[in-house]
Amino acid sequence: MSGVVVVGLFESVEKAASAGDALRALPLPEERITCISSFPLPDGAVCRDTRPIRFPRFTLLGWFLGLFAGLALALATYLLYPLITGGKAIISVPPTLIVAYEVAMLGALIGTAAAGFREMGLLRFRTKTVHDPRIQDGRILVCATVATGDEERAAIGALSAAGGADVRAEEGTI
């Protein structure tokens, strides 16, 4: 969706919650409204995060990739450096399982770290994200992605009527 992000800075949770209610009354879909705060807010106090949680998927994907990499490493080691006993090469299963397990755990750890960076928005490149340094002073930033024109003016009016200080429209993403 092309458009702008309308942001408003609020002093208290109550004012920010009334701003979130005003934006939902426009009506704006829940996934286009968010808030940024320096302290944790209960889900639904100002806005709801409707994005699905993808941590388990990334962790499992990393675990399976690590498992296959560990098996490949162990089997490649047996093929490159065969242990000949009684005229036959021996492939020992317990060391193979240990190597496969350890590399699978490493893959799960890397998958979890990648998912964490992705969910926190640290893997975004070349996009301007909305931020205000006054958030660290205890203020709450309520944001909504809107289309330019009437929807933008209505969102600015709703945030201003709810008591927002420094309500403005910015280019960027939430």
- Predicted local distance difference test score (pLDDT) of residue 99: 95
pLDDT number for residue 61: 96
| pLDDT at site 35 | 83
**b/e per residue, 85-118, with b = 16+ CB within 10 A?**
eeeeeeeeeeebeebbeebbebbbebbbeebeee
What residue ranges of the chain are covered by domains with CATH 3.30.70?
Answer: 4-50+125-170
Protein fold of 4-50+125-170: Alpha-Beta Plaits (3.30.70)
pLDDT in tens, the chain (174 residues): 557 888 888 888 888 888 888 888 887 788 888 888 888 777 777 777 777 778 899 999 999 999 999 999 999 998 898 888 887 777 788 889 999 999 999 999 999 999 988 887 777 666 667 777 787 888 888 888 888 888 888 888 888 888 888 888 888 776
Distance between CA atoms of residues 26 and 166, nearest Å: 20
What is the spatial distance between Cα 116 and Cα 80, in angstroms, rounded to a whole number? 37
Q: Report pLDDT for 160.
A: 85
C-alpha 32/C-alpha 49 separation (Å) is 10
